[in-house]
Amino acid sequence: MVHVVSETGGRKGKDYCILYNPQWAHLPHDLGKASLLQLRDWTASVLCSPPDLPAKGFSNQIPLVARGNCTFYEKVRLAQGGGARGLLIVSKETLVPPGGNKTQYDEIGIPVALLSHKDMLDIFKSFGRAVRVALYAPGEPMLDYNMVIIFVMAVGTVALGGYWAGSRDVRKRCMKHKRDDGPEKQEDEAVDVTPVMICVFVVMCCSMLVLLYYFYDQLVYVIIGIFCLSSSTGLYSCLSPLVQRLPLGRCRVPNNSLPYFHKRPRVSMLLLALLCLAVSVVWGVFRNEDQWAWILQDALGVAFCLYMLKTIRLPTFKSGNSIMVEVATGPSDSATHEKLPMVLKVPRLNASPLALCDRPFSLLGFGDILVPGLLAAYCHRFDIQVQSSRVYFVACTVAYGIGLLVTFMALALMQRGQPALLYLVPCTLVTSCALALWRRELGMFWTGSGFAKDVPQSPWAPPSADDPQPQKDSDTSLPRPPPGEELAKCPPPPEQPPEVSVPEETGAGAPPQEPVSPVGCTPEPTSLVGASA
SS3 476: coil
Q: What is the pLDDT of residue 188?
A: 56
Give the pLDDT of residue 205: 79
CA distance 166 to 382: 8
User: Is 358's pLDDT higher than 50?
Assistant: yes
| Strand-strand pairing, 37-41 and 131-135 | antiparallel
Chain segment 436-491, per-residue pLDDT in tens: 899 888 888 887 653 343 334 433 344 444 444 444 443 434 444 444 334 334 44
| pLDDT of residue 277 exceeding 90 | yes
- Report the mean per-residue pLDDT for the chain: 74
Strand partners, 363: 345
In this model, does residue 178 exceed pLDDT 60? no
- Give the ranges where 175-312 is alpha helix by DSSP (H): 195-214, 216-244, 267-285, 293-311
Q: What are phi and psi of 20, to 5 degrees?
A: -130, 165
CA separation for the pair 204, 45 (Å, rounded):
50
- Which residue has better confidence, 44 or 457? 44
pLDDT exceeds cutoff 60 at 28? yes
State how far the Cα of 280 lies from the Cα of 227, in Å rounded to an integer: 8
pLDDT for 477: 41
**For residue 278, is pLDDT > 90?**
yes
More confident residue, 242 or 253: 242
Distance of alpha carbon 14 from alpha carbon 356, whole angstroms: 11
DSSP-assigned beta bridge partners for residue 369:
none
**Of the CATH numbers 3.50.30.30, 3.40.50.720, 2.40.30.110, 3.10.180.10, which one belongs to the domain with range 2-135?**
3.50.30.30
Would residue 67 be called left, alpha or beta, if left means φ above 0 and alpha means ψ between -120 and 50 degrees?
Answer: beta
Sign of CA dihedral 391, 396, 397, 401: positive
Positive or negative: CA dihedral 219, 224, 228, 233:
positive
d(CA 227, CA 229): 6
Cα–Cα distance between 396 and 382 in angstroms, integer?
Answer: 12
- Evaluate whether 114 touches 18 at the Cβ level (below 8 Å): yes
Report whether pLDDT(495) > 70: no
Rg (CA), the chain: 32
User: Distance (Å, rounded) from C-alpha 378 to C-alpha 402?
Assistant: 19
Contact 364, 150 (CB under 8 A): yes
The values of phi and psi at residue 226, to 5°, are -65, -40
Cα–Cα distance measured from residue 410 to residue 435, given in angstroms and rounded to the nearest whole number = 26
pLDDT for 493 beyond 70 = no
Say whether pLDDT at 401 is over 70.
yes
- The winner for highest mean pLDDT among 92-96, 121-125, 317-321 is 121-125
Per-domain boundaries in the chain: 2-135, 146-450
Q: Concatenate the DSSP letters of all residues of 9-47 into one string.
A: --SPPEEE-EEE-TTT----SSGGGSPPEEEEE-TT---
pLDDT at residue 403 tops 90: yes
Query: pLDDT value at position 275?
Result: 92
Among the residue ranges 57-61, 81-85, 396-400, 518-522, the one predicted with the least confidence is 518-522
pLDDT at 397: 94
By CB atoms closer than 10 A (0-12, 13-18, 19+), residue 102 is exposed
Q: Would you place residue 279 in the very low, low, confident or very high pLDDT band (cuts 50, 70, 90)?
A: very high
Percent of the chain scoring above 90 in pLDDT: 12
